[in-house]
């Protein structure tokens, strides 16, 4: 695992706009649901039973708390956007997953990527592989998701992350935690 | 600067002295160059050539280390004569003193191989140490003691220079004066360009400025090839990675089982053996009987100028020497006397107990009677042609 | 529907601290003076006020965000419009990494030559100075114990600074890995099949090959990655004609690894890799630089190029590579070395094809058998030195490796394989290995 020797709290001030931060969470959400009027924040909290269910399904839940942005137009819900961070090899990769009402992945966007290798995961070709995946899909490198040569860790960690988010949102919808 | 003008004065003085004396052997008169010798070295040069520093009044360092033969023995005697009447026979041939500046004191390297040291048995620790010993050796310059040498030095033509460089009262302190004298000799050997010229055809070839003839190139190949001459194993021929040109010796020791030389006076007594490394003066290697019969690997630079080969001067031509190397084991009867029972007394210059020390494992010594020698006659000629390229251009 | 508002972690902590402080204060009520009590109450009130203010600010931010005007098109690169950015951590951080291999080799015909070795133990760290700049380093210890009488070696494998110039362009300066082949930049034990690294990428491409210099990296949206730059090169004066190192790996025996490297002659290099289709990589590289540094009898140039591809459809992992190196003016360099055991070759090359299949997976366990076929010749040709003096070309060696990688956990791999050679049958061997990488 990464041993981070020194880190400080999340910065609230804007960092460099162009460096390796490609999209903000808000921009990504708007891309995924252009017809949405607003995004409401819901925090999904999984209880112990739900965490166990996830583990049984082969998904490591990682944390019990998941902030979800619910895309809404008027009174109806269009879908959900979850922003998450995973480690590539050394650096954090920030990405967003957009899920439709049917529980299938609508879009995946990479918000920031800082690793020296594997920038190709930002390409539409790689992200397109996730469109239509559900909680029932394997979502596994070498299975239904192709790897980027030389960036195996970034690819598998992001794929695991998408799988996790899809499973969490699916559970939350079934339990009524999400509109 | 005072030192600079002193240098010029000394150089001028040396030139005047040399032309006046008309003594010393060969070489073009030293023309002043940018690399003129330092004060100490120029004194050393004069001491080197000064025959008055010997008991016989006819022998200097230059007498036995003649520039004509690459600063090695001047004639084909196996050992030079010395003493007050020049009638005391020496025990070993005079080695070349060129290309010794990088040699170190005797030691065992990280693999336990004996390396370094001056003289055939490495008993002197430096050029300075070696330079002092012939002055007091009974069969060489044969001075009775150190004080005698200094007394002679104080009467030399360059004594005033000596005082100038080392102090006005130096001759009143004979031990110090002797140390300064040998220091000057060492400095001369380190600075003089004739002793480290690197002006041979082979050096130019390494610089990319000359090319070897076909025969010379064939000879180099045979010299290098591990399955033919394998000479480069002890006489390295390749440039070092820092760009320095090869000295054709690794300053190590080897026991070749060279045949006994009846022309050497001390060999008249069949019980006497020159055992080299293990029997050297001081007795520090007496316990290493595995090294009995081992002698220093000499440099092959200017080997074509030499008149005798090996520590006992047993061979007088390169042809004989190289033929011995490759036919020692395939035709031992050519080199060694026969025993009463008709068998060959191989390695006759070693007592029976130490014959096992002889190198029989490395090529070309690893063949047996009746085998084809590692080099044919024509190939030996090729190697000799190559060795001729190691002669420094005359300056 | 429930709509619970949870305090974020920092606020929660502050609230907890506040309540604890209050409790602590209460328990010491008997000993504290009234003034102190009052002071502490004021302190608590102030903290609570600031917490409320922060909460309000965050609520406002969340309410305000959906009103940001529609801007970015569906392209991955953001427009130049200044916008609040993602909460990615851009502060300096130091990350430790490591990889290592422990290997057992047993020649099948010469079991007396069996050996076990901590082949390499590598520690690296990456330190990020700011959002655009980081330092990448790696330190390697080979063969466990290093001293004058032990076989080990300690070496710096990487030490470079990478700076992001623009979204597409980054620059690296320092000691970096050369972008050549499939293995050189990705040489961790978890990244390749087989206990030992393949021969083509050790004998022809001297993995792990690093040079010092300046490199520009361009990462394009069509999947192309361009890497080019100027670096140090090889040193032909290091060629030892009496040793066999040059026959095992010509470039491996003359690499400098930026250790008091001769640098009069610099080299240029370029590499292009395309990964536009997920699961497919096609690429190549070219390197060329002088290697005499004005110190050899003749000036000579070392050139190395390679072409490679890797395709991972489904459970398959297929790769192929060809590489060729050449040295100019070797006739002049070899002339003083005629007859010696190992002369400088004029050209050397090799290729391999490899197939691996993810046969069995269970949770994190993955078993991947593989087969690799390689052909290489470290002395494909020699320059003519004259009759009887020119060495004959080396024999082309063929190696077949059959084995499997077993992943115990992502980052830990156990490997076993069998290697068979056509020329040097004495080298046929069984290998076992344990590797880690994080």
Residue with the bigger pLDDT between A69 and C38: it is A69
Whether the pLDDT of residue A163 is over 60: the answer is: yes
Q: Is B187 inside a domain boundary?
A: yes
* pLDDT tens digits, B127-140: 999 999 999 999 99
The verdict on B145 and B228 lying in the same domain is no
Residue from C33, C293, C285 nearest C182 by CA: C285
- If one counts the domains in chain A, the total is 1
Element (H, E) at A28: helix A25-32
Q: What is the pLDDT of residues C225-238, one digit of tens each?
A: 999 999 999 999 99
Contact assignment for B241 to C235 by CB distance below 8 Å = yes
> Quick check: is A23 in a domain?
yes
Does the pLDDT value for residue A7 go beyond 50?
no
Quick: pLDDT tens for C117-176: 999 999 999 999 988 999 999 999 999 999 988 999 999 999 999 999 998 999 999 999
Let me know if residue B319 belongs to a domain: yes
Question: What is the predicted pLDDT for the residue at C32?
Answer: 57
Quick one: pLDDT band at residue A52, thresholds 50, 70, 90?
Answer: confident
Give residue C91's pLDDT: 54
Picking from C57, C82, C89, C308 by the largest number of A CB atoms within 10 A of its own CB, the best residue to mutate is: C89
B225 and B147: one domain? Answer: no
Answer with the one of B195, B222, B241 that is the final residue of a domain: B195
Q: What is the ipTM of this complex?
A: 0.79
Assigned CATH for C96-437 = 2.40.160.10
Q: Dump strand ranges (E) for chain B.
A: 81-82, 88-89, 107-108, 114-115, 253-254, 295-296
User: What are the tens digits of pLDDT across the range B61-79?
Assistant: 999 999 999 999 999 999 9
- Which has the closest alpha carbon to B329: B360, B299, B296, B298? B360
Tell whether B175 and B234 lie within a shared domain.
no
Q: How many Å is the Cα radius of gyration of chain C?
A: 29
DSSP annotation of B209 reads S
Per the structure, the complete domain to which residue B371 belongs is given by 201-390
What pTM was estimated for this model as a whole?
0.78
Task: Report yes or no on A101 lying in a domain.
Answer: yes
Structural domain including A58 reads: 16-135
Question: B238 and B355, same structural domain?
Answer: yes
pLDDT tens digit string along A88-144? 888 889 999 999 999 899 999 999 888 888 888 988 989 999 999 999 998 988 888
C264–A contact, CB cutoff 8 A: no
Measuring CA to CA, which residue among C314, C76, C226 is closest to residue A125?
C76
Between residues B16 and C205, which one has the greater pLDDT? C205
User: Could you say which of B139, B166, B195 is where a domain stops?
Assistant: B195
Residue B168 lies in a domain: yes
Lowest mean pLDDT, pick from A159-163, C61-65, C125-129: C61-65
pLDDT at position B85: 94
- Same structural domain for residues B264 and B320? yes
Do B172 and B233 have their domain in common?
A: no
Position A71 in a domain: yes
Is residue A82 included in any domain, yes or no?
yes
Q: Would you list the domain boundaries of chain C?
A: 31-91, 96-437
Cα gap C337→C346, rounded to integer Å: 14
Residue-wise pLDDT tens digits, C174-202? 999 999 999 999 999 999 999 999 999 99
Enumerate residues 86 to 145 of chain A having a beta carbon within 8 A of any beta carbon in chain C.
89-92, 94, 109-112, 114, 116-117, 119-120, 122-126, 129, 142-143, 145
Q: Do C389 and B223 touch (CB under 8 A)?
A: no
Whether residue A70 is contained in a domain is answered as: yes
B166 and B143, same structural domain? Answer: yes
Q: Are B158 and B222 in the same domain?
A: no
B251: domain CATH number? 1.10.760.10
Greatest mean pLDDT among A135-139, C88-92, C107-111 lies in C107-111
Is the domain of B132 the same as that of B214? no
Kindly identify which residue of chain C lies nearest to residue B386, measuring between CA atoms: C336
Percent of chain B past pLDDT 70, that is, above it, reads 91
Instruction: Return the residue in C192, C278, C319 with the most chain A beta carbons within 10 A, the one to mutate for interface testing.
Output: C278
Cβ atoms of C318 and C310 closer than 8 Å: yes
- Report pLDDT for B22: 42
Indicate the length of chain C as a whole number.
Answer: 438
Residues C350 and C374 sit within 8 Å (Cβ to Cβ): yes
> Within a domain: residue A10?
no
Cα–Cα dist A21/A105, whole Å: 23
Inform me whether the pLDDT recorded for A15 exceeds 80: no
| B117 in a structural domain | no
Both tokens of B27, joined, read 């070489």
C2 touches chain A (CB under 8 A): yes
Q: Closest-CA residue in chain B for C339?
A: B221
User: How much of chain A, in percent, has pLDDT values that exceed 70?
Assistant: 89
Residue B143 region, left (φ>0) first, then alpha (ψ -120 to 50), else beta? beta
Q: B320 and B299, same structural domain? A: yes
> How many domains, in total, are found in chain B?
2
Percent of chain A past pLDDT 90, that is, above it, reads: 35
Shared domain check, B276 and B257: yes
Regarding chains B and A, contact by 3 or more CB pairs under 8 A is answered as no
Structural domain ending residue among the three candidates B139, B165, B195: B195
pLDDT digits (tens, 9 = 90+) for C358-411: 999 988 899 999 999 999 999 999 999 988 889 999 999 999 999 999 999 989
* Residue B231 resides in a domain: yes
> Cβ B238–C389 below 8 Å, yes or no?
no
Residues B90 and B212 in one domain: no
């Amino acid at each position: 695992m990464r041993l981070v020797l020194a880190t400080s709290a999340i910065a609230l001030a804007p960092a460099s706009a162009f460096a390796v931060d490609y999209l903000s969470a808000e921009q990504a959400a708007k891309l995924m649901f252009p017809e949405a009027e607003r995004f409401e924040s819901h925090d999904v909290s999984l209880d112990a039973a739900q965490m166990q269910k996830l583990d049984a399904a082969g998904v490591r839940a990682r944390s019990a708390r998941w902030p979800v942005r619910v895309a809404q137009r008027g009174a109806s819900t269009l879908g959900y956007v979850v922003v998450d961070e995973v480690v590539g090899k050394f650096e954090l990769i920030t990405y967003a997953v957009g899920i439709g009402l049917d529980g299938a992945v609508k879009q995946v966007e990479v918000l920031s990527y800082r690793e020296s290798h594997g920038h190709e995961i930002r390409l539409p070709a790689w992200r397109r592989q996730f469109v239509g995946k559900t909680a029932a899909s394997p979502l596994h490198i070498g299975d239904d998701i192709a790897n980027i040569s030389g960036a195996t860790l970034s690819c598998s960690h992001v794929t695991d992350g998408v799988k996790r988010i899809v499973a969490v949102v699916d559970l939350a919808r079934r339990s009524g935690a999400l509109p | 600067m005072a030192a600079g003008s002193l240098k010029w004065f000394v150089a001028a003085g040396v030139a005047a002295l040399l032309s006046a004396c008309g003594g010393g052997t060969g070489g073009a008169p030293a023309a002043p160059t940018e690399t003129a010798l330092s004060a100490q070295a120029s004194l050393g040069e004069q001491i080197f050539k000064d025959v008055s520093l010997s008991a016989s009044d006819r022998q200097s360092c230059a007498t036995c280390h003649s520039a004509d033969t690459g600063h090695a023995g001047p004639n084909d005697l196996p050992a030079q004569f010395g003493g007050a009447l020049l009638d005391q026979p020496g025990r070993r041939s005079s080695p070349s003193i060129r290309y010794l500046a990088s040699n170190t004191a005797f030691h065992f390297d990280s693999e336990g191989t004996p390396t370094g040291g001056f003289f055939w048995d490495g008993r002197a620790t430096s050029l300075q140490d070696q330079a002092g010993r012939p002055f007091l050796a009974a069969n060489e310059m044969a001075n009775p003691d150190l004080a005698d040498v200094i007394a002679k030095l104080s009467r030399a033509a360059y004594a005033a220079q000596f005082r100038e460089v080392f102090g006005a009262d130096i001759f009143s302190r004979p031990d110090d004066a002797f140390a300064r004298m040998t220091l000057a000799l060492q400095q001369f050997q380190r600075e003089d360009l004739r002793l480290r010229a690197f002006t041979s055809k082979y050096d130019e070839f390494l610089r990319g400025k000359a090319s070897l003839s076909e025969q010379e190139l064939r000879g180099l190949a045979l010299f290098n090839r591990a399955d033919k001459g394998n000479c480069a194993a002890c006489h390295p021929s390749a440039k070092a990675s820092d760009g320095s040109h090869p000295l054709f010796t690794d300053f190590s020791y080897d026991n070749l089982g060279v045949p006994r030389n009846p022309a050497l006076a001390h060999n008249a007594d069949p019980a006497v053996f020159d055992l080299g490394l293990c029997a050297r003066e001081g007795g520090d290697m007496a316990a290493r009987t595995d090294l009995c019969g081992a002698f220093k690997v000499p440099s092959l630079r200017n080997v074509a100028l030499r008149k005798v080969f090996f520590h006992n001067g047993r061979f007088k031509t390169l042809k004989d020497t190289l033929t011995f190397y490759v036919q020692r084991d395939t035709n031992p009867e050519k080199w060694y006397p026969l025993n009463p029972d008709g068998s060959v007394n191989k390695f006759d210059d070693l007592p029976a107990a130490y014959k096992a020390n002889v190198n029989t494992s490395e090529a070309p010594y690893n063949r047996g009677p009746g085998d084809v020698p590692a080099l044919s006659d024509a190939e030996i000629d090729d190697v000799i042609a190559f060795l001729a390229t190691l002669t420094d251009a005359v300056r | 529907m429930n709509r619970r508002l949870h305090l974020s972690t920092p606020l929660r902590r502050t609230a907890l601290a506040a309540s604890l402080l209050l409790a602590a204060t209460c328990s010491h009520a008997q000993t504290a003076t009234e003034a102190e009590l009052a002071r502490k109450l004021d302190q608590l009130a102030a903290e609570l006020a600031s917490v409320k203010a922060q909460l309000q600010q965050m609520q406002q931010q969340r309410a305000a965000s959906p009103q940001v005007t529609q801007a970015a098109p569906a392209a991955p690169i953001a427009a130049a419009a200044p916008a609040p950015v993602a909460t990615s951590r851009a502060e300096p951080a130091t990350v430790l990494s490591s990889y290592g291999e422990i290997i057992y080799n047993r020649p099948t015909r010469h079991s007396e030559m069996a050996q076990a070795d901590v082949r390499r133990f590598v520690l690296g760290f990456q330190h990020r100075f700011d959002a655009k700049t980081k330092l990448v380093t790696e330190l390697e210890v080979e063969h466990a114990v290093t001293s004058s009488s032990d076989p080990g070696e300690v070496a710096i494998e990487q030490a470079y600074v990478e700076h992001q110039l623009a979204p597409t362009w980054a620059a690296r300066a320092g000691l970096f890995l050369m972008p050549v082949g499939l293995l050189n930049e990705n040489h961790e034990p978890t990244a390749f099949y087989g206990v030992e690294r393949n021969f083509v990428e050790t004998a022809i491409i001297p993995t792990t090959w690093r040079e010092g210099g300046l490199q520009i990296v361009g990462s394009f949206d069509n999947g192309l990655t361009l890497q080019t730059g100027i670096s140090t090169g090889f040193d032909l004066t290091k060629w030892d004609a009496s040793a066999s190192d040059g026959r095992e790996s010509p470039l491996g025996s003359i690499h400098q690894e930026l250790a008091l490297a001769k640098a009069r002659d610099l080299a240029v290099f370029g590499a292009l890799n395309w990964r536009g289709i997920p699961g497919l990589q096609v690429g190549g590289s070219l390197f060329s630089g002088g290697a005499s540094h004005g110190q050899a009898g003749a000036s000579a140039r070392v050139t190395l190029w390679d072409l490679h591809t890797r395709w991972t459809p489904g459970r398959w992992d297929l790769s192929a590579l060809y590489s060729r190196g050449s040295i100019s003016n070797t006739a002049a360099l070899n002339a003083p070395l005629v007859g010696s055991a190992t002369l400088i070759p004029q050209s050397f090359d090799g290729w391999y094809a490899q197939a691996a299949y993810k046969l069995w997976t269970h949770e994190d366990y993955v078993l991947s058998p593989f087969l690799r076929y390689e052909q290489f010749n470290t002395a494909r040709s020699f320059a003519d030195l004259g009759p009887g003096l020119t060495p004959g070309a080396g024999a082309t060696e063929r190696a077949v490796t059959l084995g499997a990688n077993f992943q115990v956990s992502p980052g830990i791999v156990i490997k076993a394989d069998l290697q068979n050679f056509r020329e040097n049958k004495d080298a046929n061997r069984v290998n076992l290995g344990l590797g880690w990488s994080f």
